[in-house]
Structure 1
Amino acid sequence: MNMLLQLKEHGQSVWLDHIDRDLIHSGGLKKMVDEGEICGLTTNPAILANAMGSDAGQAGEIRTLLRQGHTPAAAYEKLVIPEIAAAADMLRPVYKNTHRRDGYVSLQIAPAFADDTAGTIAETRRLWRAVGRENLLIKIPATEAGIPAITQLTAEGINVNVTLLFSQALYERAAHAYLDGLEQLIARGGNPAPVASVASFFISRLDTAVDAIISSHLNQCGWIKTYNALERESLRNLSGKVAIANAKVAYERQQEIFSSPRWDALAAQGAQKQRLLWASTGIKNPAYRDVKYIEELIGPDTVTTIPPTTLAAFREHGRVRSSLREDVASATVLLSTLKTLRIPLDDIASRLLSGGVKQFSATFEKLIDAIPQPLP
């Protein structure tokens, strides 16, 4: 049995964390959609860079655009936007059949706008118009500049995927930014029903960062004086567990926010709930089970985004159970233990957000630099 199909029975949507030209034009994407394996698609500069870098056929098209006077960034966009639009068209039946719950394609704004609220708003509006598909989500990082932009864009009826979330506090800000935007939209006489949003909570990146700190603490000179035997054992037992605990507690908070009187008033106007989306679900530590971050975060009203290799693995040997609300009390205790063991989760989350923006920026710049120039 295809285990991906069972996730639907638990109320979880599967979105593919990948895009390339071959997937769209070979019929591969349509096949996965038609068979019900996936009901959405996400992408980011790293994914697009890998896709374009492996497609030799695009080099000629890019050179033609450059000869026509396009900048490298404009040439990149000329190729990417039609692919995003084509993917959105393939997913449109899902969008209609699920009454706008699924069937979305996500496109990230250029990382250069991460610390520029006005720039983020203007760039998002431009991309929204350029793609011209109502089942598009624009990915905006949850930076200090990004949060007010999320409110403004939601108020304008633009779908937003809030990305690079690692902490409880920042998730709450993202959720309330969405609610603020919906309230402003309704106050202006707008219809909130077509507006969608997801909050992308990153998983494996957090474990990678925390595991590195745990290893450092255990291996540093003088660690015997810093930690007693019980604390050392607690540190070892935290490896590979923090990200899942963090996600479980975030889900509990999401349930509270979207069952409050404030939300009930918005839902009565037809507003859609902002769902949590599990991002960075591929395993980075080969010692862990390859589908760990899928299996341990299965629950209703959530989205899991899965890269192709992990998707194939889960299709073959994934195990499905309602895991997201299992032992939430222990997850809460685990997170509180971090403070005792001098692992500053909020600081780590802040660094990961900043590092994620820088990583995407570097990837985007590398992609643009690698665009082949016109032949003499």
Structure 2
Amino acid sequence: MTPLDQLTALGQAVWFDYIRRSFTRAGDLQALIDQGVRGVTSNPAIFEQAIAGSDDYDEDIRRLAGENRSVVEIYEALAIEDIRQAADLLRPLYDRTDGRDGYVSLEVSPALAHDTAGTAADAKRLFAATDRPNLMIKIPATPAGIPAIESVIAAGINVNVTLIFSLAQYEAAAGAYISGLEKLHETGRALGQTASVASFFVSRVDTAVDDALEKIGRSDLQGLTAIDNARLAYARFREIFAGDRWDTLAAVGARIQRPLWASTGTKNPAYADTLYVDNLIGPDTVNTLPPATLQAFIDHGRASLTIDKDVSGARSRIAALAEIGIRLETITGQLLEQGVAAFAKPFESLMKSLEEKKDRLSGSGNA
């Protein structure tokens, strides 16, 4: 049994936070699937590194430029092809698990983070264009994104709710999923083929809170908040997906919306490189790992049930932050704003790089 299989046995699915055409076509993704990887996530920053940082896509860029495609159209064509290839490799797992795993995530345009109608329309368009049942559309948990999530779920489209930093955001995301399923059920459609995960960001919380703690000399609380925050979200997950309202949906085939731990690469070199994997393992969860963290866990990670460890202590430590003047809700609000910007910037950079590549590869004598 591989280390990833051990996590599967504990109820946690590992998804891979990376995509690149050569990686997929060379068999590297299939090798990871064989080791126990059960899904793939992507974001604008990952696509920027893949497309702008390699020549994997140059032939297609030249062809698409010759078809007079716009830069945005070229990007979408490249991204959708990558997503389709990954989805096809994961399709046997998707079928074998009856749609529990085997998903690939593609994000709506970062420019739409504050546009409800635009986000919903983009999600529906991308899902139709990709034409794979094991696609999840990533929608950020911004105030505008939450009603879009409900609308997209109500249309029977899988959603990866991204950029969740706070319990309030998490509750809103879960609520949007449940309301969307209720609307989907009202249309008479089956619920079992619509899935969702709630991507709760982890390491960035420690980075921000640790900095605030450093300023007031409270090193005793450093490196704890991110895991505590995630454990409280998991406890809330167990409460939300129980009771009469949820039981009514579950009785007609609805799937729970699993918490997904995101941003789990360790940013502080003083912390263990598997810190945000080892301490967040439990049933009905997903952890999406960047390449370095995935390899670190395979090499020396510890697979044991940890997600519900010391929840009362987590509540006490989160409360202690407020007592010493650190407002977690303010920090997580700032992290959401930064997260939206962090995905918009590489997307803009990618558009610029694609424009340059398009001109170079299709220019007279430059190809």
Common topology (TM > 0.5): yes
Equivalent of residue 271 in structure 1, options 254, 258, 280: 254
1:80 maps to: 79
Partners of 2:121 and 2:329 in 1: CA distance? 30
Matched, 1:302 2:290: no
Deviates more, 1:22-31 or 1:135-144: 22-31
Where do 1:28-177 residues align within 5 Å?
A: 28-35=28-35, 37-177=36-176
1:375 maps to: 363
Partners of 1:287 and 1:3 in 2: CA distance? 24
Equivalent of residue 252 in structure 1, options 222, 235, 258: 235
Deviates more, 1:270-279 or 1:50-59: 50-59
Where do 1:333-352 residues align within 5 Å?
A: 333-352=316-335
Partners of 2:98 and 2:15 in 1: CA distance? 17
User: Could you tell me the percent identity over the aligned residues?
Assistant: 49
1:226 maps to: none
Partners of 2:56 and 2:104 in 1: CA distance? 24
Partners of 1:197 and 1:72 in 2: CA distance? 30
Partners of 1:151 and 1:40 in 2: CA distance? 23
Measured after TM superposition, the shift of residue 34 of structure 1 is: 2.7
Partners of 1:130 and 1:341 in 2: CA distance? 50
1:237 maps to: 220
Gaps of 5+ in 1: 219-234
2:185 maps to: 186
Matched, 1:280 2:263: yes
What is the Cα-based RMSD across aligned positions, in Å?
Answer: 1.1
Q: Report the CA distance shift for 1:83/1:344 in structure 2 as closer, same or farther (over 3 A).
A: same
Measured after TM superposition, the shift of residue 89 of structure 1 is: 0.9
Partners of 1:292 and 1:135 in 2: CA distance? 30
Partners of 1:79 and 1:238 in 2: CA distance? 45
- 8 Å CA contact 1:214–1:239 kept in 2: the answer is yes
Measured after TM superposition, the shift of residue 238 of structure 1 is: 1.3
1:236-292: per-residue Cα shift (whole Å, max 9, x none)? Answer: 111111000000000000001111211111000100000000000001110100001
Equivalences, count = 359
1:166-201: per-residue Cα shift (whole Å, max 9, x none)? Answer: 000110010011000001111121111100000000
**TM-score after normalising by structure 1:** 0.93
- 8 Å CA contact 1:182–1:271 kept in 2: the answer is yes
- 8 Å CA contact 2:163–2:201 kept in 1: the answer is yes
- Structure 2 counterpart SS, 1:198: strand
Partners of 1:91 and 1:175 in 2: CA distance? 26
Measured after TM superposition, the shift of residue 59 of structure 1 is: 2.7
- 8 Å CA contact 2:266–2:275 kept in 1: the answer is yes
Partners of 1:78 and 1:39 in 2: CA distance? 25
1:23 maps to: 23
1:208 maps to: 207
1:199 maps to: 198
2:303 maps to: 320
Partners of 1:121 and 1:251 in 2: CA distance? 27
Gaps of 5+ in 2: none
- 8 Å CA contact 2:227–2:280 kept in 1: the answer is yes
Partners of 1:4 and 1:85 in 2: CA distance? 24
Measured after TM superposition, the shift of residue 60 of structure 1 is: 3.9
- Structure 1 counterpart SS, 2:223: coil
Measured after TM superposition, the shift of residue 324 of structure 1 is: 0.5
Q: Report the CA distance shift for 1:69/1:268 in structure 2 as closer, same or farther (over 3 A).
A: same
Measured after TM superposition, the shift of residue 29 of structure 1 is: 1.0
1:358 maps to: 341
Partners of 1:90 and 1:4 in 2: CA distance? 18
Partners of 1:157 and 1:63 in 2: CA distance? 36
- 8 Å CA contact 2:21–2:56 kept in 1: the answer is no
- 8 Å CA contact 1:2–1:316 kept in 2: the answer is no
Matched, 1:311 2:294: yes
Partners of 2:118 and 2:223 in 1: CA distance? 37
1:222 maps to: none
- Structure 1 counterpart SS, 2:146: helix
Partners of 2:34 and 2:82 in 1: CA distance? 19
